[in-house]
Structure 1
Amino acid sequence: MATIGWYLLAALSEIAGCFAFWAWLKLGRSPGWIAPGLACLILFAVALTRVDAAHAGRAFAAYGGIYVACSVAWLWLVERQVPDRWDLLGSAVVLGGAAIVLWGPRAAA
């Protein structure tokens, strides 16, 4: 799978895992949400380690932009709250930053 695919899987898994706890603790859902939430968080960690990056810090930094954009998509698609222009602008800014971190030219080591 390509780097962007691993990032998207990581983001979806992390958001779903965290949302499971949100549903339990903030929306009054059953504690039965914990097990799938934990499974999603484990999948998130595994997916993020599959990203093609030489250093964890750079992979995690770039992931931050993907996470923000996917969270805004989650807001819209799952929570049925239409993102406003600030959500969209913020997502575009962090995606630009993620691209710079991940694919910016590097001096030869």
Structure 2
Amino acid sequence: MNWTIPAFIGAAIAEIAGCFAFWAWARLDKSPLWLIPGVASLCLFAWLLTLAEAANAGRTYAAYGGIYILSALVWLWAVEGTRPDKWDVTGVAICLIGAGVILWGPRVAS
């Protein structure tokens, strides 16, 4: 099984959750204890990216960016209650197409 897409989805959830924990502490006056699961979540995010089946870390990170952008808009809608507009949807579609080209584009062996 190719773990790239599930790894990207899991990484996006972990990254957003980890970053939100820091946001909650710094911007929403939550307890510093929020930082503990935040750091754990960001470590999980980094590990999940290593499961992507790509030869280069840079390409993995670049392709993951499209999934992260989609996840951020899902978070915007599901957690923050703000529905993405047509420009958000258009932008994420462009990013996902770009991520696909980066991840699955034909490569010339060097």
TM class by shorter chain equals: over 0.9
Q: Structure 2 counterpart of 1:67, which letter?
A: Y
Three-state SS of the structure 2 residue aligned to 1:107 is: coil
Could you say which residue in structure 1 is the equivalent of 2:45? Answer: 44
Normalising by structure 2, we get a TM-score of 0.95
Normalising by structure 1, we get a TM-score of 0.96
Could you say which residue in structure 2 is the equivalent of 1:103? Answer: 104
Q: Structure 2 counterpart of 1:106, which letter?
A: R
Aligned residues: 109
CA distance in 1, matches of 2:90, 2:27: 28
Three-state SS of the structure 1 residue aligned to 2:58 is: helix
Between the aligned residues of both structures, percent identity stands at 55
Structure 1 outlier segments of 4+, above 4 Å? none
Give structure 2 stretches of 5+ with no counterpart.
none
Could you say which residue in structure 2 is the equivalent of 1:93? Answer: 94
1:9-57 per-residue CA deviation (whole Å, 9 max, x = no partner) reads 1111001000000011111111111001001000000000110000101
Q: Structure 2 counterpart of 1:33, which letter?
A: W
CA distance in 1, matches of 2:91, 2:28: 27
